[in-house]
Amino acid sequence: MEEYIDILDENGIPINKSKERSAVHRDGDWHKVIQLFIINDGKILLQQRALTKKSDPGKWCASASGHISAGKTSYDAAIQEFSEELGINVENEKINLVDTFKSPTIRFNKGEKIYNNHFVDLYISTQNINLENIKLQKEEVEQVKFYSVDEFEEMVKTKDERLANTPILFEHLLKAIKDMEG
C-alpha cells in the first residue's frame, strides 16, 4: 500500500486532505518533508542516495530525509527517518528544528514530470555519532561520509555535481550553521 501524505495550501496550512504520495507529486500538491543533518565536531554527515532512487540517485544529500506520512508530526517523522535510514536512535534533546521553508521544484524521471512542491522542515542533530554504529537502509542509502563545513560550503558554491539538486536546502543549512556558531 502506498504512503498517504497530508496536503497543504500554498502557505503551508493543512487543508484536511491526504493523497497517495505518487498522486501528490503528479498533481503538484504542496506537502511537508523533513531534511535532517548530523553535525559532529564541525563536520556534516551526508548520505549518498541509493543508486536505485528515482530522484538524484547516487548524489550526496541530507543525513536522512523523508516525507511526513498523513497524520504524523514533522518531529516524529524526523526521529523515524534517522532510525530507518541510519539505524540511529536520536536523543530527544539533540535534535532541533532550525528552519522551515518553501521549496518548489520540478524534476523529470524517464520523461515523467514530478512536482516536488515541498515545505521543508530542516532539523539539525548535534549528537556525537560514530560511523561504525550506523546501519544503512540499503534501499535508501549507498553510503555516508562526514564533510567539513568548509568543504561542504565549497561544494555548494561550486555547484558540485556530486550533490543532490537541492541548492535551496543547502543554503538554508549553511545559514543555520552560521547562526548556531554565533
* 171 membership: H or E segment, kind and range: helix 167-181
Name the band, by pLDDT with cuts 50, 70 and 90, for residue 109: confident
Cell output for 142? 549507498
Domains (range + CATH), the chain? 4-181 (3.90.79.10)
For residue 78, give the 3-state DSSP assignment: helix
Phi, psi of 133 (to 5 degrees): -90, -5
Read off the pTM: 0.93
How do residues 56-96 score in pLDDT, each as one tens digit? 899 999 999 999 999 999 999 999 999 999 998 876 668 89
Average pLDDT, whole number, for the chain? 92
Write down the pLDDT at residue 21. Answer: 94
Between the alpha carbon of residue 22 and those of residues 28, 29, 103, 113, the distances in Å are 10, 10, 18, 11
List, in order, residues 6 or more apart from 123 with CB less than 8 Å away: 34, 35, 36, 37, 78, 95, 96, 97, 98
For residue 89, give the 3-state DSSP assignment: coil
**Local structure of residue 40 (DSSP, 8 states):** E
Name the band, by pLDDT with cuts 50, 70 and 90, for residue 139: very high
Query: What's the chain's Rg over C-alpha atoms?
Result: 16
